[in-house]
A and B are shown apart, each in its own frame.
Chain A
Amino acid sequence: MNKLLLTVAAALLFPAVALAGVPIQGGGSAVTAEVETNSRALRVTARPIDPAMGGARGCYAYSATSGVLAAALAANAVVFSARYDPATTTDIAIVTHLKVAFLPLTLFTAATLTDATSFDAFIGRSFSVAHTGGTAGTLTGDNLKLRTSFASTSFADIRISTTAALGGGTVTLPTHPFAQTLRKANRTNPAAATEETITDATAGNIEVNFNVGDSEYPIALADQEGIVVRNRTVWPAAGTGQIQVTMRWCEVTSY
C-alpha cells in the first residue's frame, strides 16, 4: 500500500512521469521490459509450456518405422494408431507436429497408375478399444519424454504396423482426414523391365506443424481421442514399402 501511495504521490507531483506510461518489471529482477522505438512493439522471448505452473504434465516425441508392409494392402487399412487415455480424464494432449512418410521398396508390377501408397491422418474420437497387432510403443519410464523430469505420457497405446494392417480398434473417425499424403508407388517399367524413376520418401509426405505462433490451433485431444493413419487406396500387386511416423505433443491439465 505504501508503494502504491508513493506512486500516486509521484503521479500528482510529476504529471509528465504519469503521462509517459508504466514500465513492466521482471519477476526476478528490477529489469523492465523494452519497447522498440519505431515499431512500438514489446520484445518477447518464447518459452515452452511450464510444468511448474501445474498446467503441463510434460512434452513428448515419438518416431517409429514400420516393417516392410506386404503387397496388396487394403484401402483404409490402419497403419498407425495413438489412443489418449489419461488418468485425469479432463487432461488434454496438444499435438503440435505429425510427419508421415513412405518409402517404396519392391516394385509394383500391376499396371495400376493411382495414388497407391498415399495415406490419410484422422482425429479418432470415442476410442473404446485400442488397435492391435503391429509394434506397440514402450510408453513407460523415460521413453518419449523430451525432458527427464517430465511425467510419463498418458497415451495408453501407440502402435505402428509391422508387415500388415493393424487389427481391432473401436474408434469413430470423422469423414475427412486432417492431413494426407499424395504420391504414387514405383512400378516396373513395361518397356525395359527396369525400375521407374521415382522420388524418395520425402515425396508427397505429411509434415504438419501447427504454428500456434502464427495463430493456428493445434490438435487438442481429450480423453479417449487419438490419431489414426490409414492407407488410402488398395495397393497393386507385388509392391512393398515402409511407413514412418513422427509425432510430438504436450500433455496439459487445461488449454
Chain B
Amino acid sequence: MRALVVLALLLAPGLSWAGVPVQAATSATILEVETNTRAIRIIAKALDFMHEDVRGCYSFSGTSGVITTNLAANAPLFSARYDPGVPSDRAVIYYLRIAAMPLTPYTGLGNTAYPSMDAFFVRAFSVSHGGGTSPTLTVDNLKNVTAAGITGFADLRIATTAALTAGTGALFPTHPFLQTIRKGNRTTVDGGVEETITGATAGNAQGIFSVGDGEAPIVLSKQEGIVVRNRTVMPAAGTTKVDVAMRWCEVTRY
C-alpha cells in the first residue's frame, strides 16, 4: 500500500520533494515565501467576531466629573463588573489606560503621590459599585463592530464628583497590576501662585497587553472585573479629573 502511495506521489504533476504550496481558502492564490529569508508572509488579523468563539470586541472611554477635595485613600473611581449570560464566557482585556488631571491647586501641606491611582484585577463580585456615571451597555454601545453581540459586562461606571460606593464581594488582590504615579499642583509657599506642573499624560499608565509580542492579556471570568482606586488621600482644596479607557474582546473560550 505504501509503495502505491509513493508511486502515485511520484507520478502526480506538481507534487515533488521541493515542498507543498499552501493555497488560499477562497481563491487560487498561493502563500508566498520570501526568497532570501525563506520566511512566509503573514498579515495580522483581529479576533474574528463571526467565529463561534467570539461574542464581540469593545471599547470604553470615560472621564469623571471634577472630583472634589479630600478624596479618601482607596476610593474607587472606576469599576467594571463582568457578568455574562453564559457563565463560561471570558473577557479578554487588551488595553487599560488611567490618567488624572489636577485642576484646583492643593493648599494642604501634603507633598506626596496624589492624585495617583491603582488598577486591580478583582474577583468574586456579587453586587456592582454604585454612584458615578454608568454608560449604556445595550444596543450598539461600546461595540467595535456593529455586528458584535452586546457586551457581557453587567456594569461599568466612573466617578462623577465623589468616589463610587462600595461594590459587594469584590476581592482585591494585594497588588495592583497597573499604577500611575504623579503629584498634583500645589500653591507655592512663598509666592502663592500655582506650581508648574505637567498635564494628564504625566505619570499616567497604559497597560498594553501585546499578545502579538508574546504577552498574555488579562482574562476575566464571570463575576470578575477591573477596579481603579485613588491611592493616597488628597489634601485640602485640590480637585482632579480622571480618565479611563479600556478595550477588550468577549469570547466563549480562550
Contact = CB atoms under 8 A, between A and B. Distances in A.
Contacts of B215: 48, 59, 96-97, 248, 250
Contacts of A143: 173-175
Interface residues of B, number: 78
B28 A36 contact: no
Given A22-B22, A101-B203, A63 B178 contact: yes
A15 B12 CA distance: 7
B180 to A, nearest CB: 8
A33 B28 CA distance: 12
B18 interface: no
B143 interface: no
Interface in A36-64: 36-37, 39-49, 59, 61-64
A92 to B, nearest CB: 12
Contacts of B174: 137-138, 143
B214 A218 contact: yes
B21 interface: yes
A167 to B, nearest CB: 22
A130 B174 CA distance: 21
B129 interface: no
Interface string B147-190: 00000000000000000000000000111111101110000101
B221 interface: yes
A128 interface: no
A148 B211 contact: no
Interface residues of A, number: 81
Interface string A61-97: 1111100100000000000000000000000001011
Interface in A1-60: 1, 4-5, 8-9, 11-12, 15, 18-24, 31-37, 39-49, 59
Contacts of B23: 20-23, 35
Contacts of A142: 123, 173
B12 A8 contact: yes
Given A143-B175, A209-B210, A21 B196 contact: no
Interface string A131-164: 0000001100111111110000000000000000
Contact of B214 (A15, A195, A246, A250): A250
B29 interface: yes
Interface in B23-54: 23-32, 40-48
A12 B7 CA distance: 11
A104 to B, nearest CB: 9
A244 B180 CA distance: 8
B217 interface: yes
A238 interface: no
Contacts of A65: 113, 116, 179, 181, 231
Given A21-B20, A197-B196, A250-B216, A47 B211 contact: yes
A200 B202 contact: yes
A34 B24 contact: yes
Contacts of A214: 213
Interface of A: 1, 4-5, 8-9, 11-12, 15, 18-24, 31-37, 39-49, 59, 61-65, 68, 94, 96-97, 101, 103, 105-106, 137-138, 141-148, 192-195, 197-203, 209-214, 216, 218, 242, 244, 246, 248, 250
Given A15-B13, A45-B45, A209-B208, 9 more contacts: A11-B15, A18-B13, A22-B22, A41-B31, A61-B207, A65-B231, A194-B190, A201-B181, A209-B213
